[in-house]
Chain A
């Protein structure tokens, strides 16, 4: 275990590359390492021929620091802008090296009005947290893996979790405008947690469970049952696609502690007295409960109350490889259960087991049709007296309406024809090397 020493510099020349206003560095066994650089300006010097923006200055300084310090972790670049004007601003970006690209990856963390002394306190707290996190990475030797920031899209997989952002901080949108919602993902995806950072920014996190490469009827039955129970509560998914399904065997996973709870952070007491002990770094989050994850739907961004919630104004309706939309599922139209069922039926038909016997093929097609045209308002309870096995044996599947009952019939079919009957996804033109897991593709 080694000890470190932090170094603050003010207006200290960085070789021939300029004079950063403020730098935070730490001494480590492998040399001095930079954590943050601050540039302040009475204005952001709207670029002229003779001046460059603070962002460009920071890019130059930080790029050179990466090179000089042989540093892998991100460096925070903080711009304090328009300090001489009435409306002042703070912008914080994370700069990280992009492996193999010879470029930097710049991620905007904060763009916020600098409106009061409390915002400066926020900066202190953030830098304190960054120091703690960075030193934690250094101590644990994770400076090139979990400590690296390499996100290019809205979804990524890190530390065994899927992370997804809902960031509306920087938009001038009317609050009543349509937005992606995270609440149904939190209730429907096993182990999911929504981290509310501000009213305009939420982050969804859930344990990553890989999809099975041997999808079965029972797997799909679990998903259809989940959709059925969602519909019984009057909620539609709104984006039923094969890529929005995780088909997996029941898997027991450890659930991370909620980020909302017990996050050690700088407190005024620790800062002022230097006596309180901080016990945990976030890179080594403790694990507590376990949960059993079955096949399930993901991506509930569109989800909401049937007939009330509307599709996105930019809702895509054509050129899918993995679903077919209901003709009335159109941009800004209200969600309906029948729309979900239409897409699910299309997926089901396309997944016909290739080695299906005649009886299985008939029953599969019949159940697919029930998914499509069954009365979506009939619930499981209304069909509780039905003898599912008898219906299958007597070719009376048209009596089924609820998705939960249909899922039961699918499981009965799987038992009757053996557990090794696999589904086959049949999407015309889909590259064979395309990962079936949307989360993995989006995170790549």
Chain B
């Protein structure tokens, strides 16, 4: 069974709650222990740490680009969800707020987790289990 699970994490402006911390431990458990030497900030020098910026020549990249540029837009349900998000974006134009970003990314995640659901051959099948505490009902009809 190839199932899509939706996890809503901690608000970046809040301390983790007992439940969310538990959820986090569960989520990252399969990674093993977190190294002590991990950096505490996200600032990095990309020039120093990277070696390439050119288009990648793996057969994969052709298919990724084609998927993006030739994406079908005939799925009414998906297109409707995308239009809802787009409407939210356009009508929040100019507003700089964490809350706005949170809402948009939450809506995007909900859309992705719902619509990246399909059966692939006989080996994969997908189901979607909606999250329960993401307050998007008013913004989107997902």
Contact = CB atoms under 8 A, between A and B. Distances in A.
B74 A278 contact: no
B53 interface: yes
Contact residues of A: prevailing secondary structure: mixed
Nearest to A5: B3
A369 interface: no
A158 B57 contact: yes
Contact of A163 (B57, B66, B96, B112): B57
A42 B97 contact: yes
Given A106-B53, A117-B79, A59 B117 contact: no
B12 interface: yes
Contact of A268 (B60, B74, B120): B74
Contact of B57 (A64, A85, A155, A271): A155
A438 to B, nearest CB: 15
A120 B89 CA distance: 12
B30 interface: yes
Contacts of A38: 105, 108
B64 to A, nearest CB: 5
Contacts of A139: 123
A175 interface: no
A282 interface: yes
Given A40-B101, A43-B96, A108 B38 contact: no
B71 A125 contact: yes
Nearest to A159: B59
B27 to A, nearest CB: 7
Nearest to A51: B43
Given A117-B85, A118-B82, A125-B71, A107 B116 contact: no
A149 B9 contact: no
A20 B51 CA distance: 23
Interface residues of A, number: 125
B7 A1 contact: no
Contacts of A120: 82, 85-86, 108, 111
A135 interface: yes
Contacts of A203: 62
A277 B83 CA distance: 28
B130 to A, nearest CB: 11
A121 B100 contact: no
A22 B8 CA distance: 10
A151 B112 CA distance: 29
A7 B78 contact: no
A388 B113 CA distance: 71
Interface string B91-108: 011111100111011101
Nearest to B16: A13
Contacts of B138: none
A17 B73 contact: no
A35 to B, nearest CB: 10
Contact of B53 (A15, A27, A108, A159): A108
A84 B93 contact: yes
Interface of A: 1, 3-19, 21-22, 24, 27, 31-32, 38, 40-43, 52, 55-57, 59-61, 63-64, 67-69, 74, 76, 80, 83-86, 88, 92, 94, 96, 98, 101, 103-110, 112, 116-118, 120-133, 135, 139, 146-156, 158-159, 161, 163-165, 167, 195, 197-198, 201, 203, 205, 259, 263, 265-272, 274-279, 282-283, 285
